[in-house]
Amino acid sequence: MSNQQALVIFSGGQDSTTCLIQAIQTYGRENVQAITFQYGQRHDVELERARWIAQDLGVKQTVLDLSLMRQITHNALMDEAAAIETAENGVPNTFVDGRNALFLLYAAIYAKGQGIRHIIAGVCETDFSGYPDCRDVFVKSMNVTLNLAMDYDFQIHTPLMYLTKAQTWALADEMGALDYIREQTHTCYNGIVGGCHECPSCVLRERGLAEYLESKKAI
Ligand code: ZN
């Protein structure tokens, strides 16, 4: 894959940081770029982390302002006053309608302008089955749509699609990046550095890490 380039949709969290490090190892640092979306997340901590990590890893990062999302949708991820809960249909109220479709569309427009075909997204349907736009079928359909929309051969990669959180930690460990990701990434919905240990995101992350470390001990 020597002169192929890749664009990673990068939030600064565990999953997208794992994808970014994997992309650097696959394509070479000079062939990887990151794109980060700002859309009125509850906390800036995540965005600061994303900037810090991209800089630390020596990857060019483009930050796009999608705060217009606030004009058309309301949800707990963007509203500090709202409590995070799971609705009766199993979808957490942190779900932002259309988010991954928008992210992929903007990422593709940017990528084409840069001559980049490979777009990498850390979406995963294993643990977060409540998010419809994290499903493989959605990503595949979006890939077709983008190729038709721009007459360009985009290839969307979702390396974490079928991994559990424990397997994502295992992948980080294989790449020699477990401690880095553990210490540098931010995943907490409540914006607490080091994690609140209570929100669904923290619980998932910590349970996955404990599971992985446990399985490692068993070997
Ligand atoms: Zn938390």
Please write the tens of the pLDDT for every residue from 148-172.
Answer: 999 999 999 999 999 999 999 999 9
pLDDT band at 58 (very low <50, low <70, confident <90, very high): very high
How many angstroms is it from 198 CA to the middle of ligand 1? 5
How many angstroms is it from 186 CA to the middle of ligand 1? 9
A 10 A CB-CB count for 141 gives 12
How many angstroms is it from 162 CA to the middle of ligand 1? 23
pLDDT at 136: 95
pLDDT at 64: 95
How many angstroms is it from 206 CA to the middle of ligand 1? 10
The first and second tokens of residue 20, run together, are: 């970014």
Q: Averaged over 57-69, what is the pLDDT?
A: 93
Please write the tens of the pLDDT for every residue from 4-53: 999 999 999 999 999 999 999 999 999 999 999 998 765 678 889 999 99
How many angstroms is it from 145 CA to the middle of ligand 1? 35
Please write the tens of the pLDDT for every residue from 64-119: 998 888 787 776 566 666 666 666 666 666 667 888 999 999 999 999 999 999 99
Q: Which of 219, 171, 191, 201 lies closest to 20, judged by CA?
A: 171
Q: Is the pLDDT of residue 129 over 60?
A: no
Angle between helices 200-218 and 165-174 (to 10 degrees): 60
Please write the tens of the pLDDT for every residue from 140-150: 999 999 999 99
Check: CATH 3.40.50.620 for 6-218? yes
How many angstroms is it from 31 CA to the middle of ligand 1? 33
Kindly give, in sequence order, each residue whose CB lies less than 8 Å from that of residue 84, ignoring residues fewer than 6 positions away.
76, 92, 93, 94, 189, 190, 199, 200
The first and second tokens of residue 176, run together, are: 């020699």
- Alpha-carbon distance of 94 to 25, in angstroms, equals 32
Q: What are the Cα distances from residue 123, in Å, to 13, 68, 105, 141, 151?
A: 11, 23, 15, 14, 24
Percent of the chain with pLDDT over 90: 63
Q: What are the Cα distances from residue 14, in Å, to 3, 89, 171?
A: 27, 26, 11
Q: Model pTM?
A: 0.89
pLDDT at 218: 82
How many angstroms is it from 38 CA to the middle of ligand 1? 19
